[in-house]
Structure 1
Amino acid sequence: MTRRTSIQDIFKIKSVSSPKIGADRQSTTLVTHLDEEKNDYITNLYRLQDDGMQQLTYQPERLSNVRHSNDGQWMLFIAKADDKPQVFLLNSAGGERVQLTDEKEGVNSADFSSDGSKVHYHVSNEKGDGEGEEESKDDKDKKPEPVVIDRMKYKADSLGLLKEKYQAVKSVDMETREVETLFEGEENFTLHETIGGDVHVYSTDASEDPDFNFNQTLYIKKGDAQPEKIPTAEGGVVKVDASPDGKHLLIVEMGREFENATHATLHVYNIDEGEKQHVTGGLDKPVGDYVAADTQQAIEQNPAQWISDTRFVFLVSDDGSVNLYEGSVDGEIRPLLEGRHHIFGMDAAEDHAVLAISTHTSPGELYRFDFESKQLDQLTHVNRAYVEETEIVDPEDITFNSGDGTEVQGWFMKPAGYEEGRKYPMITNIHGGPHAFYGNTFFHEMQVLAAKGYAVLFVNPRGSHSYSQSFVDAVRGDYGGGDYSDIMAGVDYITGKYDWIDQYNLGVTGGSYGGFMTNWIVGHTDRFKAAVTQRSICNWVSFRGVSDIGYYFTDWQIQAEFGDIDKMWHHSPIKYVDAINTPLLILHSERDFRCPIEQGEQLYIALKYQKKETQFVRFPEADHNLSRTGKPNLRIERLSHLTDWFEKYMD
């Protein structure tokens, strides 16, 4: 006898992620669960074996950044020591962990050098911070001090106010434990790859105008020679991977032709000849994973990887799925594994890949995919008991045309326990981004709504990834235009298809961009009986000055410069507050610096001032990612308030 999904199921669902294949062909993975008593996330390291999984770490902590040395002798990972993340070594044969670093501000990421003699790692140095300076640990007598700010990038979501720091690269010798600094300065260095013992591929964001610099320049440095610039498009370097023979680089880059709506692309760079080839130019889909989900934890993005001197595999967000592709240095690419699934983790050897895969009815497991036979074998069963005991609704795939004929993809879930002849209410759920996308993956929030007796509609309006570049770009400068038409066309399509949906009993919700769109919708139609807006934007005029990304995101997305108040106001949902008649619940995190809580405050006061039906729920110690990585008790509260509001106002 199965039970329906509950809000408390976040404590039952485990996340298996970040697979890594060692030189001995044994694989490791991270497994995360939510500890209700500790009110925290616990991530431990496991090794996959023929008869199951061997747990390698047991501390109640959160591990990350697992790497295997090329000789198979060592693993490294990052975990906290004295409340700072440090690098630890673990012998593959067993034994206790050994702390490798003791950095004052902790370590950001780490990897073995390709020859295995060193571990390279990244640290953030405060501007003007001298080596060896000690900071007092006794702050009881410390008086408050003013914070002097002269940069625009002075705060960040989840972190708050930022000290002026720059990422440097250090190296520690595996035998002598001697530490040296490879790259440092008043710029952010990222070491992407090493070849042999003395070739480094790195990037830097050095700029004369750092406030408006969103570009990384890629270099290769051979020994003591001067670094050589590797040509890349203006924008960011997502990943660089050196071929096993050291002759080619696989480069994933995110250009700026369409600002943050630009597809990530894949390139092969011939080191000796200095030539770069764009291998995904004809694909018109983004390289990597951009799915919106809420149960997968400790994910390490690995969009592309070599499997031989001439062949590589990579992930593609593709029409609502994330699929596995293969390519070669001659520029040919082809799909290897396509399906109604979300590949959210990948590592590969010459003959197989280990993949973390989720579907609508599975939170996620690891699988082995054989490149020759194309056979997919399941390796883990961490969520088997949960799936077997729970009634999980598998949504229907839908495709419909928007008002201007644009084709839009989405999914529709019947209520859990659906019975013929009954009328059911429906909730439309809108994703954030806007350049994320709903996909073929498990989504706990959707399952909760279905378990509560609602039909659930979720679609990918223009602006969503996994489709063409023109589709992703179409939302910019048109917030509340074509995207609004796409969502309402989905409501029209599905209510027209199924007469058992109560058209007078509809709800709408969404977070971030989805919160903006929820605000916009209730200001432009009375079709919905109840609405819940989460971590939303309501006023673009104030947003550009208070968000950690506001001053450039508004330029990029609304395409309104600083003085264009009319355009920003036109796209601001608060402008239309007079027309909001739908009862609107406002959920917002107090430490949200992406869509700051003043956005929720403005909307709440505007609604109350006009005697509208509303309520404002503030979540302390929570940031923009509350629904995905927030404190477990607050995640429970968020879903409880959301479902209670719909139950109150929908029959």
Structure 2
Amino acid sequence: MTRKTSIQDIFKINSVSSPKVGADQRITTLITHLDEEKNDYITNLYRLQDGAMQQLTYQPERLSNIRHSNDDQWMLFIAKADDKPQVFLLNTAGGERVQLTKEKEGVNSADFSNDGKKVYYHVSNEKGNGEGEEKSKDEKDKKPEPVVIDRMKYKADSLGLLKEKYQAVKAIDLETREDEILFEGEENFTLHEMIGGDVYVYSTDDSEDPDFNFNQTLYIKNGDQQPKEVPTAEGGVVKVEASPDGEHLLIVEMGREFENATHATLHVYNIDTGDKKHITEGLDKPVGDYVAADTQQAIEPNPAQWISDTRFVFLVSDNGSVNLYEGSVQGETRPLLEDRHHIFGMDATEDFAVLAISSHASPGELYRFDFDSKKLEQLTHVNRTYVEETELVDPEDITFNSEDGTEVHGWFMKPAGFEDGGSYPMITNIHGGPHAFYGNTFFHEMQVLAAKGYGVLFVNPRGSHSYSQSFVDAVRGDYGGGDYSDIMAGVEYITGKYDWIDQDNLGVTGGSYGGFMTNWIVGHTNRFKAAVTQRSICNWVSFRGVSDIGYYFTDWQIQAEFGDIDKMWHHSPIKYVDAIDTPLLILHSERDFRCPIEQGEQLYIALKYQKKETQFVRFPEADHNLSRTGKPNLRIERLTHLTDWFGKYLD
């Protein structure tokens, strides 16, 4: 007998992620669970051994950045020591972990050198605080100090106010434990790859105008020679990896042709000739994983990887799925594994790939995909008991046309325990981004709503990834236009298809961009009987100056410059507050620096001023990612408030 999904199920779901294959082809992975008593996330390292799972670490902590040395003698990972992330070594034969680094500001990422004799790692050094300067450890007498700010990038969601730091690259000798600085300065260095013993492939964001610099420049440096620039589009360098023979670079880059709506693309660069080939030019889909989900933890993105001197595999966000493709240095591409699924982790050898895969009815497991036989073999069963014991709803795929004829894709869940002849309310759930997408993946929040007796509609309006570049770009400068039409067309399509949906009991919710759209919807239609807006935007004029990304995001997305108050106000949901008659619950995190809580405050006061039906719930110690990585008890509270509001207003 199965049970329905509950809000408390976040404590029953395990997240298996970040698979790695060692030189001996043994596989390691991270498994994360939420500890209700500790009110925290616990991530431990496991190894697949003779068909069984062998746990390698046991401490109540969060691990990341698993790497295997090429000789398979060591593994390294990053974990906290004295409240700072440091590099630890673990012998593959067994034994206790060994702390390798003691960096006062902690370590960002790390990897072994090709010969296994060194570890390269990234640290962030505070400006003006050199290697030899130690801070006082005695904080008891410390007095409050002012923070002097002279940069626009001075804060970040989940981090708060930022000290002026720059990422440097260091190396430590595993035998002598002596460390050295390879790259440092008032710019952020990233070491992507080492070829042989003295060829460095790295990038830097050096700029004369750092406030408006969103570009990384890629270089190859051979020994003491001057670095040679590798041509890339203006924008970010997502990943760079050298082929096993050291002749080519596999480059994933995110250009700026459409600002942050631009597809990530894959390229092969010939180190000797300088020729660069655009591999994914004909796909018109982004390289990598952009799915919106709420249960996967400790994910390490790996969009592309070499499997031989001339072949590589890569992930593509493709029509609501994330699929596995193969490519070659000649420019050929072909799909290897396409399905109604979400590949959210990958590592590969010449013969097979290890994939972390989720679907609507599976929170995620590891699989082995054989390149020759095309056989997909399940390796882990960390969520088997949960899936077998729980009634999980697998939604139907839907496709419909928006008002202007644009084709829109999405999904519709029937209520759990659905019976013919009944009448059921429906909730429309809108994703954030806007350049993320709902996909063929497990989504706990959707399952909870279905278990509460609601039909659940979730679609990918224009602006969503996994479709064409023109579709992703179409939302920019048109917030509340075509995207609004897409969502409302979905509501009309599905309510017209199923007469058991109670037309008088419809709800709408969403977070971030989805919160903006929820605010916009209730200000432009009374179609919904109740609404819940989460971590939302209501006023683009103030958002520009208070969000950690506001000063450029508003330029890029609303396409309104600083003085264009009329356009920013036109796209601001608070402008239409007079028309809001739908009871609206406002959920917002106190430490949200992405969509700051003043956005929720403005909307709440405007609604209360006009004596509208509303309520404001503020979550302490939570940032913009509350629904995904927030404190477990607050995640429970968020879903409880959300479902209670709909339970109150939807019959």
TM-score by length of 2: 1.00
CA distance in 1, matches of 2:69, 2:454: 50
Deviation at 1:176, TM superposition (A): 1.2
| Residue 605 of structure 2 is aligned to residue 605 of structure 1 | yes
Aligned partner of 2:313 in structure 1 is 313
CA distance in 2, matches of 1:131, 1:493: 62
CA distance in 2, matches of 1:636, 1:648: 18
Please give the secondary structure, in 2, of the residue aligned with 1:485.
helix
Deviation at 1:132, TM superposition (A): 2.1
Deviation at 1:47, TM superposition (A): 0.3
Aligned partner of 1:501 in structure 2 is 501
Q: Deviations over 1:344-388 (max 9, x none)?
A: 000000000000000000000000000000000000000000000
Deviation at 1:476, TM superposition (A): 0.1
Aligned partner of 2:90 in structure 1 is 90
Aligned partner of 2:266 in structure 1 is 266
Q: Any unmatched runs of 5+ in structure 1? A: none
Q: Any residues of structure 2 matched to 1:467-506 within 5 Å, and which?
A: 467-506=467-506
Give the aligned residue type for 2:147: V
Q: Any residues of structure 2 matched to 1:57-456 within 5 Å, and which?
A: 57-456=57-456
Aligned partner of 2:519 in structure 1 is 519
CA distance in 2, matches of 1:411, 1:46: 35
Q: Any residues of structure 2 matched to 1:8-47 within 5 Å, and which?
A: 8-47=8-47
Please give the secondary structure, in 2, of the residue aligned with 1:645.
helix
CA distance in 1, matches of 2:261, 2:33: 33
Give the aligned residue type for 2:65: N
CA distance in 1, matches of 2:81, 2:562: 45
| Residue 650 of structure 2 is aligned to residue 621 of structure 1 | no
Deviation at 1:51, TM superposition (A): 2.6
Please give the secondary structure, in 2, of the residue aligned with 1:250.
strand
Deviation at 1:115, TM superposition (A): 2.3
Aligned length: 651
CA distance in 2, matches of 1:309, 1:512: 43
Whether the aligned pair in 1 keeps the contact of 2:324 and 2:335 (CA below 8 Å) is yes
Q: Deviations over 1:1-46 (max 9, x none)?
A: 0000000000000000000000010010000000000000000000
Give the fraction of aligned pairs with identical amino acids, expressed as a percent.
90
Whether the aligned pair in 1 keeps the contact of 2:532 and 2:642 (CA below 8 Å) is yes
CA distance in 2, matches of 1:8, 1:109: 33
Whether the aligned pair in 1 keeps the contact of 2:218 and 2:232 (CA below 8 Å) is yes
Q: Deviations over 1:382-422 (max 9, x none)?
A: 00000000000000000000000000000000000001101
Give the aligned residue type for 2:440: N
Give the aligned residue type for 2:480: G
Q: Any residues of structure 2 matched to 1:525-604 within 5 Å, and which?
A: 525-604=525-604
CA distance in 2, matches of 1:32, 1:434: 28
Deviation at 1:116, TM superposition (A): 1.7
Please give the secondary structure, in 2, of the residue aligned with 1:29.
strand
Give the aligned residue type for 1:297: Q
CA distance in 2, matches of 1:569, 1:280: 39
Give the aligned residue type for 1:86: Q
Q: Output the aligned Cα RMSD.
A: 0.5
Aligned partner of 2:648 in structure 1 is 648
Please give the secondary structure, in 2, of the residue aligned with 1:327.
strand
CA distance in 1, matches of 2:37, 2:554: 41
CA distance in 2, matches of 1:600, 1:232: 40
Please give the secondary structure, in 1, of the residue aligned with 2:145.
coil
Deviation at 1:142, TM superposition (A): 1.0
Q: Deviations over 1:179-217 (max 9, x none)?
A: 000000000000011111111100000000000000000
Whether the aligned pair in 1 keeps the contact of 2:366 and 2:378 (CA below 8 Å) is yes
Whether the aligned pair in 1 keeps the contact of 2:51 and 2:379 (CA below 8 Å) is no
Worse-superposed segment, 45-54 or 319-328: 45-54
CA distance in 1, matches of 2:72, 2:260: 39
Give the aligned residue type for 2:419: E
Deviation at 1:175, TM superposition (A): 1.3
Give the aligned residue type for 2:482: G
CA distance in 1, matches of 2:130, 2:496: 68
CA distance in 1, matches of 2:424, 2:401: 24
Give the aligned residue type for 1:275: D
Please give the secondary structure, in 1, of the residue aligned with 2:496.
helix
Q: Deviations over 1:225-259 (max 9, x none)?
A: 11100000000000001100010000000000000
Please give the secondary structure, in 1, of the residue aligned with 2:185.
coil
Please give the secondary structure, in 2, of the residue aligned with 1:569.
helix
Deviation at 1:137, TM superposition (A): 1.9
Please give the secondary structure, in 1, of the residue aligned with 2:494.
helix
Give the aligned residue type for 1:347: D
CA distance in 2, matches of 1:361, 1:223: 52
CA distance in 2, matches of 1:534, 1:52: 41
Deviation at 1:52, TM superposition (A): 1.2
Please give the secondary structure, in 1, of the residue aligned with 2:640.
helix
Deviation at 1:50, TM superposition (A): 2.5
Give the aligned residue type for 2:532: V
CA distance in 1, matches of 2:115, 2:286: 33
Give the aligned residue type for 2:109: S
Q: Deviations over 1:90-137 (max 9, x none)?
A: 011111111000000100000111222210000000001122222122
| Residue 5 of structure 2 is aligned to residue 5 of structure 1 | yes
CA distance in 1, matches of 2:141, 2:176: 40
CA distance in 2, matches of 1:356, 1:23: 20
CA distance in 2, matches of 1:131, 1:44: 32
CA distance in 2, matches of 1:638, 1:533: 11
Deviation at 1:138, TM superposition (A): 1.8
Please give the secondary structure, in 2, of the residue aligned with 1:75.
strand
Worse-superposed segment, 115-124 or 615-624: 115-124
Q: Deviations over 1:514-553 (max 9, x none)?
A: 0000000000000000000000000000000000000000
Q: Any unmatched runs of 5+ in structure 2? A: none
Please give the secondary structure, in 2, of the residue aligned with 1:504.
strand
